Structure 1
Amino acid sequence: MSWIAKTASPNGLRVFETAARHLSFTAAARELRSTQSAVSQQIRALEEQLGLPLFERIYRGVKLTEAGHALFVSVQEGFATIDRTIDRLQHKLRHPHVNILTDFSFAAYWLMPRLPRFRERHPHIDVRIVTNQGVLDWRAQEVDVAIVFCDERMLASGVPLLFCEDVFPVCSPGFLQQHGPIPDLEALSKAPLLTLTAEQGLRWLDWPSYFEQLGGMTHLESSELTFNNYTLLIQAAIAGQGIGMGWQGLVDDMLEKGMLVGLQDLRLRSPRGYGLVDARPDSPGEAKRALQEWVLECSFQERDA
């Protein structure tokens, strides 16, 4: 602790800051709801404590000495830091926050369209979304909840399942009109397929796995367009550039709006799916609990619909 902090009272420094800002003991007294004489006494006591003159008394006012100006700059910076910290702490108390980690696709196609309902129910909770399209490691990031695509092992460990991996080919109405009908895997295999890169395909179903599991059919990927981002792939499908793989739960809104057509006869379901991970189980909180309950409620309602 500095010598000034030991000898100067916080109230004395506050009076000094006000007087220095106004360059007037009278104006400082008005702001502090005090008297000119009381302010003058506080300043004189501070000067005696520090052994330094802080003001020069001039005709009809005061001006800062060199020492007074240096102290004024430091005191203003210190009070500003204290005020910002108090504001931040009070905001955190009034507006608890929850950090969610998920991939671009889930954030764009599932979470964001539904999030206004959560904010209507919990307007005091600030939601922060962290997205990553690669491998999602919530242990290395400051997040409270992770919504990730889970394999059978993760789901067996107790991670709540939001919805299963339920997939089917999707394309634009115009593409289907031009290239259809596509009633079976044989016809599908001859169509231009939009493909995710291997990193994504290893987590989700890719076209070779899809053809093998649905019909025992070997299909080598020969698509003209390959993406490392599912949202871009879906935009390409909407634009009529080929057939993409659609995940139930992610493409629902675009199907309802007629932007995409789902080839439902070629549907395939796997035991994997999106799960809700408590990234910090040792750190409970009201905001995190509310978010978890809301996500599970939405998924249950949609699965039962």
Structure 2
Amino acid sequence: MSWIARSVSPNGLRVFEAAARHLSFTAAARELRSTQSAVSQQVRALEEQLGLPLFERIYRGVRLTEAGHALFVSVQEGFATIDRTIERLQHKHRHPHVNILTDFSFAAYWLMPRLPRFREQHPHIDVRIVTNQGVLDWRAQEVDVAIVFCDERTLAGGVPLLIREEVFPVCSPSFLQRHGPIENLEALSQLPLLTLTADQGQSWLDWPSYFEQLAGVGYLGSSELTFNNYTLLIQAAIAGQGIAMGWHGLVDDLLENGMLVGLKALRLRSPRGYGLVDARPDSPGEAKRALQEWVLECAAQERERRTKE
């Protein structure tokens, strides 16, 4: 930084910006609650510091020189950047925020229906949700908390378990009426199964693993539809296009309101499940702590309610 740049008065730049924007010392003085002569003196002092004329004095006004125009553009950009930064810092101070990373399925069917309760309890906390359907790497993203589908090793490493993986076939009531009863794996294997791909290494159950673990044989049928988005897959099941694999904790509301029917006699449990990960353990904060406590409380309440059913 040159000596001239260091010696330029910030107030002089502010006066210059107002005068250049209005192309009038009088109007600038009115905006700044100063006088025309004071504005003129500030501008003249700035010109002397820079060794450049910034304005041409013309009849009943002023106009910018080439140097004045270049400085005006830069000063406006600089003040705008400062204003945005101050606003962002003040907003962050007024409204602490927490960034959550999770997959589309959990966000749509577990988090979003419950989030209004958190917002009611903590109206001052801004919640930002980041979703991805692939393997979720919370270390590579700017997030505070991650709610991810975890394998046994991750859960054994101290990640709190929210929902244990429990799956069962689900379909629309009309589909069951047309094709039922569906009481065993043989009947299930003859029907169109809606498949959620795991082409990015996700560890959740798929139909081949489901049949292998329940019956010891692989499923040899062909699926009618394959999706990489669980939300779309569930919409296809609601529309009666086939049987989907339903996860406990995600499809519960759809079962309760009758949009789907669960074939729970064919359920399968695994040691995997959704876990709550502190993505920034070295960065504590009120917002993150409040969200973590709320998520754990919701999960505990639902486990307790389920044991009473």
TM over 0.5: yes
The amino acid that maps onto 1:163 is I
Aligned to 1:117: 117
Structure 1, gaps ≥5 residues long: none
Moved more, 126-135 or 8-17: 126-135
Instruction: State the percentage of identical aligned residues.
Output: 88
* Structure 1 residues 208 and 23: alpha-carbon distance in aligned structure 2, compared to 1, 3 A threshold: closer
> Quick one: distance in 2 between partners of 1:221 and 1:275?
32
For residues 23 and 161 of structure 1, the distance between their equivalents in structure 2, rounded to whole angstroms, comes to: 65
Q: Deviations over 1:162-206 (max 9, x none)?
A: 111121110000000000011223322322222223437961222
TM-score, normalised by the number of residues in structure 1: 0.92
Go from structure 1 to structure 2 and tell me whether the alpha carbon gap of 1:197 and 1:55 turns closer, same or farther (over 3 Å shift): closer
Q: Deviations over 1:229-279 (max 9, x none)?
A: 222221221111111111111111211221111112222222211000111
1:293 is aligned to 293
Query: 1:24 is aligned with what amino acid?
Result: S
Deviation at 1:123, TM superposition (A): 2.8
CA distance in 1 between counterparts of 2:208 and 2:8 reads: 75
Partner in structure 2 of residue 267 of structure 1: 267
Shift of 1:296: 1.1
8 Å CA contact 2:98–2:143 kept in 1: the answer is yes
- The within-5 A match list for 1:92-131 is 92-131=92-131
| 1:12 corresponding residue in structure 2 | 12
Q: Shift in Å at residue 83 of structure 1? A: 1.3
Greater mean deviation of Cα atoms: 266-275 or 153-162: 266-275
* Contact 1:170/1:261 (<8 A) preserved: yes
Q: Provide the C-alpha distance between the structure 1 equivalents of 2:146 and 2:194, rounded to a whole number of angstroms.
A: 28
Aligned residue pairs total 305
How many angstroms does 1:216 deviate by?
4.4
- Give, in angstroms, the shift of residue 215 of structure 1: 4.4
SS at match of 2:199: helix
Residues in 2 aligned to 1:7 and 1:198: alpha-carbon distance in whole angstroms: 62
Deviation beyond 6 Å, 4+ runs, structure 1: none
Shift of residue 50, structure 1, vs aligned partner: 1.9
Give me the CA root mean square deviation: 2.0
Distance 1:31 1:202, change over 3 A: closer
With normalisation by structure 2, the TM-score equals: 0.91
Cα offset, 1:127, TM superposition? 2.2
What residue in structure 2 maps to residue 149 of structure 1?
149
SS for the counterpart of 1:280 is coil
Change (3 A) 1:291 1:202: closer
Task: Identify which range, 4-13 or 187-196, moves more after superposition.
Answer: 187-196
